[in-house]
Amino acid sequence: MTESPRRPAGELLVPKRRTPTRIGLVSGGLGAYWPQFPGLLPQLRESARYVTGRFTELGVDVVDVGFISDAQEAGVAAEKLRVADCDLIVVFLATYLTSSMVLPIARKSKTPVLVIDLQPTEAMDHANFDTGQWLAYCGQCPVPEVANVFRRAGIPFRSVSGYLRQESAWDRIRQWVHAAGVRATLRTARHGLMGHLYPGMLDVSTDLTRVEATFGSHVEVLEFDDLRERVNEVTDAQVADRMDLARQLFRLDESVNEDDFAWGAKVSVGLDRLVEDFDLDSVAYYHRGLAGEQHERLGAGMILGASILTARGIPMAGEYELRTSIAMLAGHAIGAGGSFTEIQALNFFDGVVEMGHDGPAHLAVSATDPLLRGLGVYHGKRGWGVSVEFDVRPGPVTTFGVGQDPDGSFVFITSEGEVTPGPLLAIGNTTSRVDFGGDPGVWVDEWSQTGIGHHWALCLGHRASDLKAAANLLGIEHRHVTLGGR
């Protein structure tokens, strides 16, 4: 079987384009100071321009409504930000201002607000500063006041305090911007839910009303018939093109049957059409099938196309795992990949949890060229065909899932570990060995106590802080499992 040279997925696949994260920005200080200290306002405006520039560099749309000096101007700014429908509003406290200048912005916009107070430098030059120069360093002064008023008004308060060019402060700000990206993605997302629940997996069932109420997402209920008709329209030429693409993305194991490979390619083209026709941002699916009929073959032929779509930023999760496809989409929104996974086994010699899954995988987390392996049987499922196999890239990872509590509320659940090299099964699965810094059995027990379900997303990097911030913006709880200080 001749293979074409493989190229990175990023060069071959067109990513899904989404509306950029929109950050509202307003800066301000107390107007009573301007006639008293003529040099103060120009200095603060210069700081505000620097802040705007830093946000622009983060690759987001910035809606800058300018510099406010009193409550009337704050009201005008609040209306502009309300109309802009931002994913996060940032209020830069350039010097002291009254809480009456901030509360209307949060109240009217009904958008999460982040307060930042970044003084010009690390410290004042005490011997040479006068009152006007001190006031440029006084942005921290109103933080407790604003926090108190937000609390009394029932509005969540968030802040980052530091100095203007302090990179650690900007790292914290970036976490909130990443969190806003999750909120932006989820509140406009359209999640496809196709097929039916894997029989007996009660934990996988998800309240669709709660999905929209919590995240703002729409769940489009699909039938396998929707896919069937699109697959039936795929031409031989399109199948050949998709097989050529797959040969550039994957190594083909000798176990791959050419007819199964062609079927997977045909289903892949049909999946692309399905996603385009319904404008989907994610898909969760499962169909049991029977006796080799077409719906069974469709369900068994999904893995190639689902992995390609996931690599394009349209995550797909098997076994009807809607909450995991949502987690995968959130992981993708912060640039962390997000691959469908579950526990496979524990290795007590090496102190690792072995994780993976048959089915869709995110090519971005692969350590080497991903492999297509032919499988005569999918364990626990009907059908046969080609499956994706690779080892996860060594280094820091975050397990991230969406749990659902007894009252129906969703919760973000995370844990951070390190993928370490070592022996893994070669059975057509995405596989990894994750060291969580302690006894792997204890980790399983602690992880299972959180309300996590059977599956979750495996994300690259230690991203629990970003996901904690995202949970905060979404108004849901975040739970984190840690062993050995991780």
CA dihedral of 57, 58, 60, 62, whole degrees rounded to 10? -50
Q: Write down the architecture of domain 196-481 according to CATH.
A: Alpha-Beta Barrel (3.20)
Residue-level pLDDT at 197: 87
Residue-level pLDDT at 14: 83
Residue-level pLDDT at 372: 85
Tokens, residue 193: 């839910």
The strand pair at 430-435 and 385-391 is best described as parallel
Tokens, residue 373: 């392996």
List every span in the chain annotated with CATH 3.40.50.10940.
22-186
Q: How many helical (H) and strand (E) elements, i.e. helices and strands, does the chain have?
A: 17, 19
Q: Write down the architecture of domain 22-186 according to CATH.
A: 3-Layer(aba) Sandwich (3.40)
* Cα-based distances in Å from 180 to 3, 174, 398, 411, 425: 42, 10, 19, 17, 38
List every span in the chain annotated with CATH 3.20.14.
196-481
194 φ/ψ sector (left φ>0, alpha ψ -120 to 50, else beta): beta
Q: Residues 340, 328: contact at Cβ < 8 Å?
A: yes
HEC assignment per residue over 215-243: HCCEEEEECHHHHHHHHHCCCHHHHHHHH
Residue-level pLDDT at 384: 58
Cα separation, 451 vs 453, whole angstroms: 6
The one-letter amino acid code at 463 reads R
**Residues linked to residue 314 through DSSP beta bridges, in sequence order:** none
Least Cα distance to 437 among 410, 418, 463, 459 occurs for: 418
Number of neighbours of residue 88 by Cβ within 10 angstroms: 24
User: Alpha-carbon Rg of the chain, whole angstroms?
Assistant: 25
Residues of the chain with pLDDT under 70: 1-10, 358-359, 367, 375-385, 427-429, 484-486
Cα separation, 83 vs 307, whole angstroms: 38
Residue-level pLDDT at 1: 43
